[in-house]
Structure 1
């Protein structure tokens, strides 16, 4: 594997490497072989931190939470600022260093596994684009701190299996943060505001024109951007929210199916039931019966 830098570690810093015998276990175990950590760490105010690798044998993710640094690869060069994530997949030569005046603080993880390429692409890595913006997220820093608790387990195999799956959770949580940050920074597209508007009108109907007006965009541009960020066309996503809320009402109340339909703005209960069945895969009555067995 690619060894971490030999940056002098301060008392509050963390550098932990998974031992080779554990890496061999993780590479074979069915619960971890797709993705597992080979080294993890936390470098606070890392003055003098730098690294150059012409050969990169594993994958590296670095999350900058304060300060600045810089990164150079064969096809990218630039400054790194707080909230940004460096994605350096296996085989990508690179060099990076902390800023001399305002050195970065980093969480980082080296990782291997059969599906690491899928994870880095899911996080947004593309050739020529090794840096993505996740914003400053307390949830992510808490997840990294939780991941690093594995270093105090006496090399427990079960603890490392848990850590490998925690790492997958870190990646999936980071993907959500990246998506939200992209939505809020690109063209002033406030995805959270739009979805709050949807929830405020969960008891009625919304048109594409109304949603586009909230975003102050043409309906065609809005629809394209919304789908790119969420995976759904906006009206389809609004329908999913309505059916999600319908499930909550069926779970937590004694409202009749007709009353649930009315609470969601449907005058025709049969039409509501058809939409519910198409989305959830079962009728409202069957859904309620299944959860109350």
Structure 2
């Protein structure tokens, strides 16, 4: 395991190391062996904070929420600022330090497991992409803070199993925040605005032209950009939103399938049912029965 820095903790700082006996349990347990935390913490305004690791046994994520610092890893070097995430996979030699005049605040976590290489790639790690940008996200800050609560459980095995799975959720949440932030930064493209428009018109049919108009882009560039950010074409994503809404109605109301079809923009219940089965793998009635 890579040792965290020895930076002197202030009162608001946190540094927690998973004990060796718990790491052994997590490495064997079927619910945690793919990904589990070995150390985590929070360094506020970390003046004087620096670290050099020629040998790096863990995977490490560092999320800067204010201030600045510098990072050198592999063949990459550069500055790091608020909202950026440093992706340091196992085996990557690296060095980093807080800016002397404007020291960073960091949420950080060391982790290991059989699937960590895949998770790092899912976050976007490449040899030439060590730092990615999620913006300063209250969602991510809250997730890191929640994860740190495991240090108050008296080394409860169940709590650490929960924390390990919470870590996987944090990583997938990061990818969503990275994607959303990229959409906000894209000149002339507001992903949140487009998806809000979709939700407002969930009971209607929308065209690619109308969605591109909301984004003030050509159909071609809008469609390509939307797919880059979400992994779906705009119309396919709108269909998924409709099916999600239909699932909520099936689960939370006693409305008939025909009425639910109309509430998501389909006059023909049979056509709606075919789309639902194609998306969810079961009919609306089977879905409702399984939920109840």
Please, what TM-score do these two structures have when normalized by structure 1? 0.93
**Number of aligned residue pairs:** 292
Whole-angstrom distance in 2 between the partners of 1:2 and 1:188: 43
Whole-angstrom distance in 2 between the partners of 1:52 and 1:246: 52
Whole-angstrom distance in 2 between the partners of 1:289 and 1:116: 37
**CA distances 1:134-166 after superposition (whole Å, capped 9, x unpaired):** 111222222212211222333232222222122
Alignment of 1:1-293 (within 5 A): 1-292=1-292
Whole-angstrom distance in 1 between the partners of 2:250 and 2:57: 52
**What are the ranges of 5 or more consecutive residues in structure 1 without an aligned counterpart?**
none
Deviation at 1:261, TM superposition (A): 2.4
**For 2:8, what is the secondary structure of its paired residue?**
coil
1:125 to 1:286, Cα distance in 2 relative to 1, 3 A? same
Deviates more, 1:249-258 or 1:91-100: 249-258
Query: Contact 2:74 / 2:127 at 8 angstroms: preserved in 1?
Result: no
Deviation at 1:259, TM superposition (A): 2.5
**CA distances 1:93-129 after superposition (whole Å, capped 9, x unpaired):** 1111101111001111111111111111111111111
1:158 to 1:215, Cα distance in 2 relative to 1, 3 A? same
Whole-angstrom distance in 1 between the partners of 2:249 and 2:159: 39
Query: Contact 2:257 / 2:284 at 8 angstroms: preserved in 1?
Result: yes
Please, what TM-score do these two structures have when normalized by structure 2? 0.94
RMSD: 1.7
Moved over 4 A (4+): none
Whole-angstrom distance in 2 between the partners of 1:130 and 1:69: 14
Deviation at 1:223, TM superposition (A): 1.4
**For 2:5, what is the secondary structure of its paired residue?**
coil
